[in-house]
Structure 1
Amino acid sequence: MSLKDVVTFGEAMVMFVAEKPGALKDIDKFSRRLAGAEVNTAVGFARLGLSAGWVSRLGDDAFGEYIREYLVRENIDISGVTRDSRHPTGFQLKSKVLEGDPQVQYFRKNSAASTLSGTDVDAGYLTDFRHLHMTGIPPALTKETREFAYAALGAMKAAGRSVSFDPNLRPSLWSSREEMVSVINDLACRADWVLPGVEEGEILTGSRNPREIAEFYLSRGVSLVAVKLGPEGAYFCTPGGEGTVQGFKVERIVDTVGAGDGFAVGLVSGLLQGLTVSQAVQRGNAIGALAVQSEGDHDGYPTRPELETYLQHHLTGVES
């Protein structure tokens, strides 16, 4: 039996987005959506036609049922998701902004997903996939979810599977900046592909220079580093070469949340489907650009035909 494509794990939350701009305390009406970095990527992979799985724990409640049904509609394998009758599904409130980043308030303490631990890792399920995509959010939530992250990564590497890691730094979730940097770098250096933003790279390595950020991880065994540069695109480096791939021009930014996850979807899917590194980075830039033009975290993620149409109309290039 052939392996499925890509699996990820983490916390999904129901997200209530303000229907008009303003402080969250002043908003009366919200629209319901789905949030969570890892479900964003799972949705993105599935829309591109990859077989995608997502592992987590959801409360046995209305929010949990909404998430389960949503992901099934998106053709995501949720057989690795368990129900929890003692802990609730988390949720969040998100403001609507005309420019800049929105305000987000989380209600996730003691959520079902935060109780995942190392003993919950089903190595048999995970290794049915050829690739694991993970972020730095689960290791920040609780001691137990950190154990889960290490165990999942270890199981995949032991089975010879590839792993991508997006730092997705959330300083407010960590007890200290030092702990965050130490744990995130430890996990990143166990992965094959590392995808930091340039600001994250500065926090994690002490340099804003994309090449120096890349060299930090390449010298510790990582095989590919792609540094997100925002509107300017992305820089990539492997032991065999480097390049900068220009970003796509966006006339109007609606919401920046989900752009980094969209980049990961494009890069990882491209590499899994046999594109060159520069082509995969270009795909990541394209999906990131599409993401910022829609309100929800992953509403703008394209299907394969939609992506191909977008690329045909917005060609960009590589600078060596």
Structure 2
Amino acid sequence: MSKHLDVVTFGEPMAMFYANEEGPLDEVMSFSKALAGAESNVATGLSRLEHTVGYVTKLGEDSFGSFIFKALNKEGIDTSNISFSREFPTGMLIKSKVASGDPKVEYFRRHSAASKLGLADFDASYFASAGHLHVTGISSAISPECHEFSVHAMEFMKQSGKTVSFDPNLRPALWPGAKTMADTINNLATRCDWFIPGLGEGRILTGLTAPEEIAAYYLNLGVSLVVIKLGPEGAYYKSSDLEGYVQGFKVDQVVDTVGAGDGFAVGVISGLLEKLPLKEAVRRGNAIGALAVMSPGDRDGLPTREQLERFISQVTH
């Protein structure tokens, strides 16, 4: 395949309806539509920073599928490996608006087209055309087929000498139980190079408390870099020879916390692919995470390169 991609990712993009007014979802009458899904957020963020990104998924032959396909194309994301299903629908979700804290999210994704993504859909030449693979734990949660696809994609990229990043993106509601979730995610982590959990996620997955202990746990599993999100406080990173804390950016008003972790991943992955010093890559992650929480949609705050540089230069810690 002649096309070269900096990054490839896969997963379930969904149509999201987010409330335009506060209150219980069953009472809200007005919603705005947007594209949602952790992997599509990361793909969008990397594309806006001028990296070539391919996204692999299955969509339903319905208006939501068409909306998502157009939205991805509009962001300059390569969609040539997306297929459409007549049999299964595109997933969707609704999200509440809150004055503070996390919004309530309801998913309508059971038996979605994306959940049917399996080994038969794996295009080796397409993945081989990419230098890096980004994976989230959500794919493994939505179906056994997607879990198989995740394992195969990660192993294929590792064997091909590519780098793999993994964000656990824990969604307990999608798993049969906490132990299955932790065991599966930790098993997947052994197949990645860069592991990017939140502190709360790290504690759930390992039973350990301190960022240093959690990072050491994953380095012992063979991961080469662990970057732990600490929310407003910033982040902690550890590799075999480097470790440290990077302070977060001050945010004037938190509008919506959803998508902040994906923004953080965009910063770290793009920084590492651009060969920035590790600390600078993590600082970029903090910056994009901060931008993400200041906007309502999951992807609205993801910056262009110019917007990112302006934000970093303007903001003092």
TM-score (norm 1): 0.97
Equivalent in the alignment of 1:38: 39
Shift of 1:89: 0.4
What is the CA deviation profile of residues 252-291 of structure 1, one whole-angstrom value per residue up to 9, with x for unaligned ones?
A: 0000000000000000000001101100000000000000
Matched, 1:236 2:237: yes
Shift of 1:26: 0.2
Residue correspondence of structure 1 range 181-260 to structure 2 within 5 A: 181-260=182-261
Structure 1 moving runs of 4+ over 6 Å? none
Residue correspondence of structure 1 range 44-55 to structure 2 within 5 A: 44-55=45-56
In 1: Cα distance, 2:125 partner to 2:151 partner: 16
TM-score (norm 2): 0.98
Q: Match for 1:252: what amino acid?
A: Q
In 2: Cα distance, 1:97 partner to 1:208 partner: 29
In 2: Cα distance, 1:272 partner to 1:62 partner: 35
Equivalent in the alignment of 1:264: 265
Shift of 1:158: 1.4
Equivalent in the alignment of 1:67: 68
Equivalent in the alignment of 1:313: 314
Shift of 1:315: 4.5
Q: Match for 1:84: what amino acid?
A: S
Residue correspondence of structure 1 range 1-320 to structure 2 within 5 A: 3-316=4-317
Report the 3-state secondary structure (helix = DSSP H, G, I; strand = E; otherwise coil) of the residue aligned with 1:132.
Answer: strand
Shift of 1:2: 8.0
Shift of 1:29: 1.1
Determine if contact 1:123/1:156 at 8 Å carries over to the other structure. Answer: no
Tell me how large the CA RMSD over aligned residues is. Answer: 0.9
What is the CA deviation profile of residues 222-251 of structure 1, one whole-angstrom value per residue up to 9, with x for unaligned ones?
A: 110000000000000000110100000001
What is the CA deviation profile of residues 27-50 of structure 1, one whole-angstrom value per residue up to 9, with x for unaligned ones?
A: 111110110000000000000000
Shift of 1:121: 1.0
Determine if contact 1:47/1:74 at 8 Å carries over to the other structure. Answer: yes
Structure 1 spans left out of the alignment, 5+ residues:
none
Shift of 1:160: 0.8
Report the 3-state secondary structure (helix = DSSP H, G, I; strand = E; otherwise coil) of the residue aligned with 2:312.
Answer: helix
Q: CA 1:2/1:119 → structure 2, altered by over 3 Å: closer, same or farther?
A: closer
Report the 3-state secondary structure (helix = DSSP H, G, I; strand = E; otherwise coil) of the residue aligned with 2:255.
Answer: coil
Shift of 1:119: 2.2
In 2: Cα distance, 1:119 partner to 1:57 partner: 12
In 2: Cα distance, 1:238 partner to 1:275 partner: 15
What is the CA deviation profile of residues 49-83 of structure 1, one whole-angstrom value per residue up to 9, with x for unaligned ones?
A: 00011100000111100001111110000111101
In 2: Cα distance, 1:149 partner to 1:297 partner: 23
Shift of 1:301: 0.4
Shift of 1:3: 3.8
In 2: Cα distance, 1:127 partner to 1:209 partner: 37
Report the 3-state secondary structure (helix = DSSP H, G, I; strand = E; otherwise coil) of the residue aligned with 1:76.
Answer: coil
Report the 3-state secondary structure (helix = DSSP H, G, I; strand = E; otherwise coil) of the residue aligned with 2:26.
Answer: helix
In 2: Cα distance, 1:199 partner to 1:274 partner: 28
Determine if contact 1:195/1:225 at 8 Å carries over to the other structure. Answer: yes
Identity of aligned residues (%): 53
Q: Match for 1:274: what amino acid?
A: K
Shift of 1:208: 1.9
Q: Match for 2:38: what amino acid?
A: A
Determine if contact 1:118/1:149 at 8 Å carries over to the other structure. Answer: no
Structure 2 spans left out of the alignment, 5+ residues:
none
In 2: Cα distance, 1:184 partner to 1:167 partner: 7
Aligned residues: 316
